[in-house]
Amino acid sequence: MSAPVNGVGKANGVHTPSNGHHHVEDLKIAIIGQSNFAAEVLELLLERDHMVVGVFTIADKGTREDVLATTARHHRIPVFKFPAWRRKGVPIPEVLEQYRSVGANLNVLPFCSQFIPMEVIDGAAFGSICYHPSLLPLHRGASAISWTLINGDERAGFSIFWADDGLDTGPVLLQKQCPVYGDDTLDSLYKRFLYPEGVTSMADAVDMIAAGTAPKIPQTEIGASYDPALFREENQYVNLSQPAVAVFNFIRGLDSVPGALAIVEADDGSEVPVRLFGASLSARKNLANAKPIRLKGATGPTYVSKEGLFITGTDGRLVKVKRLKRGNKVIQAGQWFEQANAKPTAPLELSEKELEADALLRGIWKAILKVEIEPETDFFACGAGSMDVVRLVEEVKDTLEVPISNETLFMAPMYGEFVQEVVLRLRQGTDSTPGSSIRLDFRHVLLQANRREIAVPTQMFIGGRFVDAEGEKTLPIVNPTTEQVICEVAAASRADVDAAVQSADEAFRTVWTSVSARERGQLMYRLADLMEQHKEELATIESIDSGAVYTLALKTHVGMSIDAWRYYAGWADKIEGTTIPVSPARPNHVLTFTKREPIGVCALITPWNYPLMMLSWKMAACIAAGNTVVIKPAQVCPLTALKFAELTVRAGFPPGVINVVTGSGSLAGQALAEHALVRKLGFTGSTPIGKRIMATCAESNIKKCSMELGGKSPLVIFADCDLEKAVRLGMSAVFFNKGENCIAAGRLFVEDRVHDEFVRKVLKGIRMMKIGDPLDRATAHGPQNHLAHLQKLQEYCAVGVKEGATLVCGGKRVPHLKGLFFEPTIFTDVEDHMHIAQEESFGPIMVISKFHASDFDALVARANNTEYGLASGVFTKDIQKALLFAEKVQAGTVFVNTYNKTDVAAPFGGFKQSGFGKDLGKEALNEYLKTKCVTVEY
């Protein structure tokens, strides 16, 4: 059980104040409602030291309880779940008895879908307060937010009112409003204002009641409206015989649930109901290559083009609709005719065995989405993200041994369609994966995990062969999840490194020069395809060897590695020089041009946080440029590099082009930096080691080098940002890959106005993170890479506490869990001079400092007050602030309203002591090329 937030005490299952606030009378609050909104109101009331004596919510849906109940149980507050409060219009006696048993004197209804009897509403001495998403008396009723948009109101808002026996007619306690923008939808209004401000205002209202200052302002009937409920289908049809703006407003008022209804009149006379989503007012005056379509009730022409469905309003203006839902399937509106003309396929009749598969699939979907699964359940509409896609696909493949991919889900996002696709694949059976018939002899370890047996080489790879180290010396490789030795891997000597470099040099001067640039690209594509075919094996090795969460290893560690090889394969035959106009001495003519040539033998030294991805980021550009390579992977996790070496043989790379030496950095890495035949060294690692390597490169043969070193990346969160997104991505910025991420946000600057709420939401997110076996598809946080690093994180946190920072949570090894697991950690009250504000942790440690928004330049100066400059980020809706920050911050990468958004086409690298040179993008090719200038006089 987590410790109480902010030291608030709990006793006898009831939350009690701890700081001695003086109230007019101590409130005893009953919260009646459901949803995340109600859960956040509960947590905020507890933070403000109000006494919550009971929570009343809806009954469980299957095995899933409402989040309000989960949150209340976490705080040890009594929870009551009722399917209904009345039976045949009469209050249920046992329900009333349970409600009265908690002794509440104030009812708080943040979001309530049930009818609550007046015996309950009036049963509390201080009454009952409700949240309503409109500016009462306008838009009384259940669909208030939608009608705000449908009616084209310029202002939206919410009311907190005293419940009475009318329908949203009680006296108003407080109201807040916001402007309605032209691109607002139901979702954007809710996320931007109605949800966050509503949560805070519910707590404010309770504060006012406790202080005896809460008003009761009677509602006027002037301007009052009661609008039809839009959950009734007959009210969901859009009236197409009105101006375009009215049509647009109606559609966006029902976007994204349930969707405005229209009727397509087909050529055969049939009527096809469709739902409309993604509307906008179009500036188009004419539609080339558009096909007419008939919508029932439309007075103007309607068309379908590649852009979407266009509806003409009575004023001649156009409304564009992006998406249509026909039955249970959502399609791009521009594909209407292609979809309509496609012959429908009858649903498959499932055998008894296939029905068992259906039950297994339903269980997987339910575990991920946390909702009851129906045939029309849309995976993405339920809020699933990219990592959920990876998890689903992998669990389905593992459970049913069926060959599906991410694209299978994208093409069939609804459960009913997805089942049909999976069953079809089960009936077709699995073909053997095409692979090479090349046989390789090597000493290996057999990994038995993830329902696989994977043979992984344990020898070095030199000259196209796996070989032992000199004297057969080895180093142990430890699984960070179990702390057990996986295997012994060859430990290279200086002589071994020399043999690898000599092999690469020989290949560069002979066989590799005979391979054309286009053929080089084809080899790289072939390697990428093999990596794709073996991606589950590579991800499994990465999880066992480095502790990476398997789903993350698939998506990022391996997925981005494959992307890098394919991206640079495309560049291989597009590396060009230029012609330069020069001034020749008359009467001669001169042609001056440049050639972009490979450097020769390149050495790569890569870190332990992304073993395969760091290899690929550097090596793919290196090989595309025409070089040969010797790579030394991290001492503690070299296994994916060795499996990768096996795949290069199967892809057809000539011997000596790619070589892998394993062992310690102090010996093998240093030998590479010193070697006279190495003309370029690419390094990713710590700044202190980078300095030593750079000095060695200079002293040996002034070899070219590029350095991607340490970071202490600032992430600035302004109060005007989308806070939910900032919390989600702020957590990812710190805890992604268990914090072992070079661009991790090393220090968060959070504006004081949202600081406490930000911390509270992050704490809630941490509580939901599953820590454990990285091969478990539900795991979000795996073990740290190796023991020495775990110990460093413990020391780092101890220093933070000693210097006076507030340790909010974490700071220690996960108790009662075998393996190198470190708790996600939060520090607040961090001052700029502190060690944890200056130095990188390289672990799951969130370091938070407050700032006041009045001095932008001082904030930027604080962000820049470090010797590092790798990455940075800012969350704000003010584009001027965002661009000024991007202009002034001293970092090689700037993320605006996102984080960790890297792509193989985007250059990556730092400033200051974060290094120099670029990985990824076209710029990375420059690190592995030299420019030769040729002048010809004729």
Active site positions, annotated: 132, 708, 742
Distance CA 64, CA 370 (A): 7
Distance CA 66, CA 175 (A): 27
In one-letter notation, the amino acid at residue 224 is: A
Burial of residue 2 (CB within 10 Å: 0-12, 13-18, 19+) is exposed
For 130, half-sphere exposure in the C-beta direction (CA atoms, 13 angstrom radius) is 25
774, 819 Cβ separation under 8 angstroms: no
List residues forming the annotated binding site for (6R)-10-formyltetrahydrofolate. Answer: 114-116, 168
- Scan for tokens 């704490």, then name that residue: 763
Q: Which residues are within 8 A (CB) of 667 and not within 5 positions of it... i.e. 6 or more apart?
A: 491, 492, 493, 494
448 DSSP β-pair partners: 453
Phi-psi region of 524 (alpha: psi -120 to 50; beta: other; left: phi over 0): alpha
Dihedral angle computed from the Cα positions of residues 867, 873, 876 and 880, in that order, rounded to the nearest 10 degrees: 70
598, 627 Cβ separation under 8 angstroms: yes
Distance CA 576, CA 469 (A): 40
Task: Give the pairing of strands 678-684 and 601-605.
Answer: parallel
Q: Kindly tell me the sign of the dihedral angle through the C-alpha atoms of 72, 74, 79, 81.
A: positive
Phi-psi region of 297 (alpha: psi -120 to 50; beta: other; left: phi over 0): left
**Structure-token pair, residue 523:** 């080899």
550, 540 Cβ separation under 8 angstroms: yes
* Residue of 789, 645, 625 lying closest to 706 (CA atoms): 625
- Provide the 3-class DSSP secondary structure of residue 187: helix
Cα 802 to chain centroid, rounded: 34
675, 501 Cβ separation under 8 angstroms: yes
427-446 as b/e: b if 16+ CB within 10 A: eeeeeeeeeeeeebebebbe
β strands within 14-168, DSSP E: 14-15, 29-32, 52-57, 79-81, 86-87, 90-91, 106-109, 128-132, 155-162
List residues forming the annotated binding site for NADP(+). Answer: 632-635, 665-670, 685-686, 792, 840-842
550-575 as b/e: b if 16+ CB within 10 A: bbbbbbbbbbbbbbbbbbbbebbeeb
CB count within 10 Å of CB 411 equals 11
Please list the alpha-helical segments (H only) found in 379-493. 386-400, 406-411, 415-428
Quick one: three-class SS letters along 701-766?
HCCEEEEECCCCEEEEECCCCCHHHHHHHHHHHHHHHHHCCCCCEEEEEEECCCHHHHHHHHHHHH
Q: Kindly tell me the sign of the dihedral angle through the C-alpha atoms of 603, 609, 612, 618.
A: negative
In one-letter notation, the amino acid at residue 544 is: I
In one-letter notation, the amino acid at residue 432 is: S
In one-letter notation, the amino acid at residue 119 is: E
Distance CA 695, CA 744 (A): 27
State how far the alpha carbon of 894 is from the alpha carbons of 563, 751, 842, 864, 869, in Å.
22, 19, 19, 13, 10
* Residue of 825, 822, 801 lying closest to 813 (CA atoms): 822
Distance CA 634, CA 665 (A): 8
368, 392 Cβ separation under 8 angstroms: yes
